[in-house]
Amino acid sequence: MRERDDPEVIGRRVQRLRAQRGLTQRQLAEPAYTPAYISTLEAGRVRASDEALRHIAGRLGVAFEELSVGRPAHLATDLRLRLTEAQRVLADGRAEEAAAQYTALLTEAGTHGLGCEQATALLGLGECALQTGELARAREYFERAEERLADGSLPMRVPAVRGRAVAHYLAGELRYAIYLLESTLDELNRGGLHDPDALLLLYASIIGPYMDMGAHARAAQAAEFALALAPQAADPALIARMHRSVARTLLAEGRVVEADASLAKAAELYRQLQLRTELANCHWMRGYVYAQNGELERAEDELRQALAMLAETRAALYRSQAAVELADVLHRRGKSAEAADLLEGVLGDFSSERGAVHAAAAHRLLGIIAEDTRDTEAAEEHYVRALSLLERAGAAGDLADLCRLLGDLLRRTGRVEAALDAYRTGLGHRTAPGTTTLGPAPAQPPL
């Protein structure tokens, strides 16, 4: 809470408000204080107690905060209402418009020393930056939000921690993203801070990084915890996000029907909440489910719908990631030229610091397409670039498959020793996927 203004400032404020209401110093003072006390206070020669200021505020018909810090009455409530409106705009996919609203609200909250509202605005700006793919800026906003909430409980800081972790995850820094999420989960569970919304947010967010690292067992466990926590959570947006993340784990376990059911539940919740970007991601994940089940025509329809929706929301990084999934389906349906054009069009949106895992997937697929056309030189170049990106990200599950592709290519072109090196590298990543780089699992919630 903002510190009280200096006695001189408060004195002038009391005098101005008293004059506006046509009150004498005696009328303002009675019955608890004397006119002389009011005169001394207005002259700034005494530091009034909170009790005295509350009495004077009541006589003047204003809020205590308006006297003590000059904050207009109901400002905090009004700010929270406008923050909710900015959240709705962001949920509808208009990230740039929401960012402008959050920026103005952040300035206003800072002017009046409203720390919680500042943190909320910073969290919103972080989410806007995630949508537009500005990952470094997103991390900065989430870090500032966490600083604003430093005196609050850990559950209050969880959205900021989760935001930072997602920014690192999208940048391809899988291990650090997992470290942030796991250490926070461990602290919550060991400390008995079993806040359902906070736990659900963390477990839903960690499934993706686990899957990309090949830690399927931990992803499955996180999904089970998330499903168990969902009935206790108050925020339907979290439940929808959880269903989308859980679907990926269910699919890895071969539970296609359950995965599709989870995505259908998420899509319905997002329709109700008008969260267009998340709804688009549901179509994206449903397309992925269909693709893995061999239903390529349905997969293409879902992924095209996701791509169109993400184009409307200007969620550049998510749109590019969905394009890679669509290109894979197009290639499998014999539309390799269209797939290659799509991949070449989005590769510029990725880098080793931004969407590394999907950039690697794009290079991998371009390598396969090049092999199909007998362009082994281009294929090798794409495989090597994909390998470099995956090694940096630590995506063990994809590395093994890529090493096999590269090894096969090298063997066919007569470079047997180089092929053996590639195979050995792949075998090293295949052994105990996801277990060699992760420490002990975090403490579990009491379910």
Residues in the chain: 447
| Cβ atoms of 319 and 327 closer than 8 Å | no
The pLDDT score that the predictor gives to residue 72 is 65
Q: Over the stretch 172-211, which tens digit does the pLDDT of each residue have?
A: 888 899 999 999 999 998 888 778 888 888 988 888 888 7
The type of residue at 405 is L
CA distances 217 to 320, 337, 432, 433, Å, are 28, 37, 11, 10
Query: What per-residue string of b and e applies to 238-254 under the rule 16 or more CB within 10 Å gives b?
Result: bbbbbbbbbbbbbbbee
Query: Which residues of the chain are under the pLDDT cut of 50?
Result: 1, 431-437
The pLDDT score that the predictor gives to residue 297 is 95
Q: Which two tokens stand for residue 387?
A: 């390998």
Cis? peptide before 196, omega within 30° of 0? no
**How many CB atoms are closer than 10 A to CB 301?**
16
| Cβ atoms of 350 and 320 closer than 8 Å | yes
139: closest CA among 173, 187, 107?
173
pTM: 0.69
Q: Which two tokens stand for residue 217?
A: 């067992």
The pLDDT score that the predictor gives to residue 293 is 85
103 vs 109: CA distance, rounded Å: 10
The pLDDT score that the predictor gives to residue 58 is 86
The pLDDT score that the predictor gives to residue 434 is 38
445 vs 447: CA distance, rounded Å: 6
